[in-house]
Homo-oligomer: A and B are copies of this chain.
């Protein structure tokens, strides 16, 4: 189950796998396809197990490894864990489970924040599991040891995004409650540590004020992927890439949310895991 398989035979022709518990990773997929339009992408949303943010680290590691092995079986040349919770608690397990290079979204986000912050006072918002893991704090301090890091879990943000309530007085009131302490802490940079949160950027920005820089991992993750593929000689430079979408539960809901999120209709099929 945790064997590392040989990665021989991978060529630049294969697609890149992008994986999230649900739809949030589409913000990462979107950044990748804008930066590397020639790459083909396979997106997997583990909608049978969404949300990951309130599950145990063991459960998240098990679900993530299963998805990673499935995507490896489809011939992906690299895998992006486009879910902060899975990146925070399951990246080593996923790397042991497959033989293709794997990148997560924590380190790219931490790197962008460490570079952007003037004062070294950096905030992170994410799911309960992501904040409890301390993964962002470790990553930021690894890059900038004197940084002072403040975290806050915002469990209702994901349900609000999935409900499509991205602005208006209700989500503003929720943001005010979650972000009050963070605002008063004096951070100058805030990491949107969940792939759903870029959809709430306007609300978060209004609450935190103009002086605070918001960091969205998606763009930085696309840059890291690009560097990785170049380094391994796996970059695809010509043609027009395609994207495929696979989910582990019924595709109807994903299709509807994807339309809300990226503003276009996507073709989604279902792959059911046993159990």
Contact = CB atoms under 8 A, between A and B. Distances in A.
Contacts of A163: 155-156
Contact of A159 (B156, B169, B250): B156
A156 B160 CA distance: 7
A48 B59 contact: yes
A238 interface: no
A54 B169 contact: no
A188 interface: no
Query: Interface centre among A160, A163, A252, by most B CB within 10 Å?
Result: A163
Interface in A133-180: 155-156, 159-160, 162-163, 165, 169-170, 173-174, 177
A32 to B, nearest CB: 26
Contact of A170 (B48, B56, B170): B170
Interface in A108-149: none
Interface string A256-275: 00000000000000000111
A55 interface: yes
A131 B59 CA distance: 29
A49 B249 CA distance: 12
A261 to B, nearest CB: 15
A170 B174 contact: yes
Given A48-B49, A55-B250, A58-B250, 19 more contacts: A48-B55, A48-B59, A54-B253, A55-B249, A56-B250, A56-B253, A59-B249, A59-B250, A155-B159, A156-B156, A156-B159, A156-B160, A159-B159, A169-B173, A170-B170, A170-B174, A274-B274, A274-B275, A275-B275
20 contacts: A47-B55, A48-B49, A48-B59, A49-B49, A55-B249, A55-B250, A56-B252, A58-B250, A59-B249, A59-B250, A155-B162, A156-B156, A156-B159, A156-B160, A159-B159, A170-B173, A170-B174, A273-B275, A274-B274, A275-B275
Interface of A: 47-50, 54-56, 58-59, 66, 155-156, 159-160, 162-163, 165, 169-170, 173-174, 177, 249-250, 252-253, 273-275
